[in-house]
Amino acid sequence: MIATRISRTLCVAALALSGAAQAFDTKPWLEDLAQARQAFGATYANFEWAVFEREADLSALFDETKTRIEAALNEADAKAAFYRLARRLGDGHVVFDWPAAQAVGSESPAADRCASFGYRADILGTPLAAEAPGYTALETPQSAMFPAGLIVVDGRTVGVVKIGLFSPSGFPELCAAGLKALNIAPEAECDDACRFRLDDWASAEMTVALAAQLRAVKASGATALVVDLADNGGGSEWAEAAARMVTAKRLESERMGFVRGAHWVTKFASHEADIRSYAAEASGPADKAFLTKLADELAAKGKVAATPCDSAPFWKGAKPECAWLGEGFYGSGFVASADPAALKDKPWASYVFSPMKYPYEEGVWDGPLIVLVDGGTASASEEFTAVLQDNGAAFVMGSPTAGAGCGHTDGGTPTVLKNSGATLEVPDCVRFRVDGSNEVMGIAPDRLVGFRTTDGPKRLGQRFMEKLPEALAAADALFARR
């Protein structure tokens, strides 16, 4: 009997020791959380918005995350605490990304070259307006890239063009065509410069295709246009060129704000050097004066970027005495607006005004314009919508957008957490609307449509169709006031 009790006691003790030995170690995760907090305090562009517009208590949010990590039983629990922090913050460009585990025996890079470059068809936004009753698809050579169709409203033909993404990365077939057109052999290495050439080629093809589709819609008798951006998660600065293609009104782009620090110090210094080089080779006194003035502005902004602003008051719900963000240039580059014909032959045109990187034309569509958005409309698609709405060039209908705003410039300011290996991405820039608000707040439609997350495609199309006549009348009135 005594021996049996001793044996049971030893077994219980052994189990306890085994459990203690296997207890999840939260210390490295807490260190990563502290590193993430430090990164927020140094590089988070939307800090002021988060505290005073979003009304988020970031100190409390990090404290809650710490408590959850301390209670974590495994790695999945700890990761979930970080994911919850980003979700609760509600900023679409704040992301914790852990490297995917490499399966034993798997090969890298992927066998499909375009997939390894990030070209994936599944990132394209799903058409919404195409589900409207009475929608008739318009079959053209460009329809695979930009699905289009027609809807008759009270005897009037309304065109629809779907933009699923403001980037060629949603079109693997475009990547494959680019590799062939640029003579990039399957066995040849494709470095960053090669990838930039491929993306530029693909973006140019998209520009030409969008112009052709807009003309096809107009030739089909449409007297108003709906640009469907539902579920469009963003893309690139190509959005600025695309916006200028759907209106003849000369657009003014949004003012940018930047986070003070090394990232923008380096950017401004590099841009200043390039602009001074262009100024030295300028063909006329007017261009030389313009570029020299721009270089001086870049130098001044570089000094602002190099002057830190302590974020400590934000953690207590107060404003710092300094301006958290420096005043940058514009979403379209160093100028808010430009005549593409006047810039066409200047070697520095695309450097100064980003739409000039693409073979775009202003006002390919010049008629009443409606932009359709929903909760999946984010980032560059919000930029496209905001520019058109702020300039009175388009009537916006749908539901409030995701609220991602400006994201990451030239790679952004990623922070690799030293223990878990996760990469923390926070936005390093802000786009300001004409009323001074931060675009990360999302775009409020001019006409709300009661889209619900439980609606199926047909129901979404019906809801859109119910509000389309009102939106069409408002778009007509807006166009008449231009």
pLDDT at residue 44 tops 60: yes
DSSP state of 188: S
pLDDT band at 21 (very low <50, low <70, confident <90, very high): very low
More confident residue, 183 or 13: 183
pLDDT (mean) for 415-436: 96
- Give which of 21, 117, 30, 111 is closest to 65, Cα–Cα: 30
Q: What is the pLDDT of residue 354?
A: 97
pLDDT (mean) for 462-481: 97
CB of 184 within 8 A of CB of 190? yes
What kind and span of H or E run contains 162? Answer: strand 156-162
pLDDT at residue 272 tops 80: yes
pLDDT (mean) for 123-150: 97
pLDDT at residue 15 tops 90: no
In this structure, the strands spanning 148-153 and 224-228 are unpaired
Using alpha carbons, list the distances in angstroms from residue 357 to 193, 201, 239, 392: 16, 10, 12, 25
pLDDT band at 18 (very low <50, low <70, confident <90, very high): very low
pLDDT (mean) for 118-138: 96
Q: What is the pLDDT of residue 470?
A: 97
Distance CA 186, CA 111 (A): 11
Distance CA 184, CA 32 (A): 41
Q: Residue 395: phi, psi to the nearest 5?
A: -100, 130
Tokens 């979930």 -> residue? 80
CB of 218 within 8 A of CB of 357? no
Residues facing 257 on adjacent strands: 327, 430
Record the pTM: 0.91
CB of 381 within 8 A of CB of 166? yes
- Give which of 224, 476, 201, 468 is closest to 358, Cα–Cα: 201
Q: What is the pLDDT of residue 112?
A: 84
Distance CA 243, CA 337 (A): 12
pLDDT (mean) for 157-169: 98
In this structure, the strands spanning 95-97 and 415-416 are unpaired
Joined tokens for residue 204: 């140019």
pLDDT band at 99 (very low <50, low <70, confident <90, very high): confident
In this structure, the strands spanning 423-425 and 369-373 are unpaired
CB of 35 within 8 A of CB of 415? yes
Distance CA 127, CA 369 (A): 18
Complete domains list, the chain, with CATH: 124-170+204-411+428-480 (3.90.226.10)
pLDDT at residue 184 tops 80: yes
What tens digit of pLDDT does each residue of 196-228 get? Answer: 999 999 999 999 999 999 999 999 999 999 999
Joined tokens for residue 425: 């991405």
pLDDT at residue 387 tops 60: yes
Distance CA 263, CA 255 (A): 19
Q: What is the pLDDT of residue 454?
A: 94
Helices 58-70 and 27-43 sit at what angle, rounded to 10 degrees? 160
Q: Residue 118: phi, psi to the nearest 5?
A: 95, 10
What tens digit of pLDDT does each residue of 282-306 get? Answer: 999 999 999 999 999 999 999 999 9
pLDDT at residue 49 tops 80: yes
Q: How many residues does the chain have?
A: 482
Average pLDDT for the chain:
93
Distance CA 300, CA 162 (A): 41
Q: What is the pLDDT of residue 13?
A: 47
Percentage above 70 pLDDT, the chain? 93
Q: What is the pLDDT of residue 186?
A: 86
Strand order in the sheet with 136-138: 136-138, 148-153, 156-162, 224-228, 369-373, 395-398, 447-448
pLDDT band at 22 (very low <50, low <70, confident <90, very high): low
Q: What is the pLDDT of residue 8?
A: 53
Distance CA 56, CA 54 (A): 5
Centre a 10 Å sphere on the Cβ of residue 322 and count the other Cβ atoms it contains.
Answer: 13
